[in-house]
Amino acid sequence: MAHAQEILDILATWQSKRFRESDITISDAAESLTTGYPLVEARPGTSSSRWIIMKKDTKKVAVLSFVGIWAWSSDLCTGNYVPSGCDAPDGLPESRIQDIPSYRCEFTYAFDTTTDPSIWDHVKTLEAHVVSQNGFNKGNKSRRNWQNSNIIGSRQRYIVAAKVFTRRTPHNTKDCGKFTVPYKIHPWLSEAMENYPDTFQIPNPDRPRYYDYSGSDSILRNLQDTNIPKFNCNDIVLMTFKMGFVIGNDNWYPEVVPIEFIQVGKLPEHVVSYTDSAVYPALDPEYSPLELGTPVSVIESKRFGNSL
C-alpha cells in the first residue's frame, strides 16, 4: 500500500477506542505488562494445557480489542462448509471445502498487516508474558511456526478463525433437541442438521457477531441488515476477542477467539495502490496472451470510421 503514514494515522483514530468500558485494547494490554501496573495476566484455565489472558487480580476473562484493515474472509455465514452439489463461494479453495459438519468446518478472517503490523508485536509481548509464568509449558515444547512473528515474511496477514459447528451437549441443546443461536442460521447449516444427525453437531452459538458502525448517525447495525452485508477489502474493522495459549502434543501457540467484528470505516480510495481485478469482466475467450520466442505480427491500427 502507498501512503503508509496516512493509513497509520487513519487507523490511529480508532485504535485507542472501545465500545465498552470493560474492554481493553490489545496495545494497552501488551504495553501495561512492561510497567508496574499490568492490566492483564495469563493464568491456567480448566487445565494446564490452556492458559487464558485474564483481567489482573480478577476472575474475569479479558475482552481485548484490535482495529485493523480487512483483507478477506471465508463466507461470513457458512465458512468453508459447502454441501455436496452446491457451488462454493468465490475465493474458497477446493482444498479447504468441507461437506460434512465437523470441527474442520471453520470461518476464517484475515487482516492486512502490511502497513500496520502492530498486532504481531502485541501478541509477541503477550507470548513473552505467558512464557515467563511458572508452570507454563512444563515440557519445554517449541512455539508452533504458524503465525510466528519471528519468521521472516510472515507478517503480511494476521488470520483468526472460529468454528462453524460445535458439538451438541446438554448445555447448548434442550432435551427435545432444540437449540438456539443469536443469529439467523443459513439454510445450508439448517439442512446439515437434518442430513447429518449422527455427527451430533449444531451451529456454533459462539460464532462472532458482525456489525456495521460506519454510518454518519453513530448507530450500530447488524451487518446483514445493511446494503452491503459483508466486510470488504480495505474496510477498517474493530475486532473484540478473548485470547489464550494452547500447549499441544508437539508445540504451543496463541489462540485468538473472536467475539465481534465491527466495521467502523473504510480506507479512502486514494491511499490504496492496487486495482481490484474482480470488478472487471473476464477477458474474451478468444483473447490470447503473447508468447515469448514466437513470430509476432504487428497490426496497423484502423482509423475511426472503419470496422474493428
Q: What letter does residue 271 receive in the DSSP assignment?
A: G
Q: Is 225 a domain residue?
A: yes
Q: How many domains does the chain have?
A: 1
Q: Is 306 a domain residue?
A: no
Apex CA 111: angle with CA 108 and CA 116, to 5°?
160
- Amino acid identity of residue 282, one-letter, is A
CB 67 within 8 A of CB 236: yes
* Structure confidence by residue, pLDDT tens digits, 206-251: 999 999 998 889 899 999 999 999 999 999 999 999 999 999 999 9
Q: Is 301 a domain residue?
A: no
Range of the domain at 114: 4-279
Q: Name which of 111-125, 126-140, 206-220, 262-276 the model is least confident about.
A: 262-276
Q: Is 299 a domain residue?
A: no
Q: Catalogue the E-assigned strands of 97-220.
A: 106-112, 142-143, 157-163, 165-167, 201-203, 209-212
Q: Is 145 a domain residue?
A: yes
Q: Is 300 a domain residue?
A: no
Q: Is 174 a domain residue?
A: yes
Kind and range of the H or E run holding 244 = strand 235-247
Length of the chain: 308
* Structure confidence by residue, pLDDT tens digits, 267-280: 999 888 555 566 67
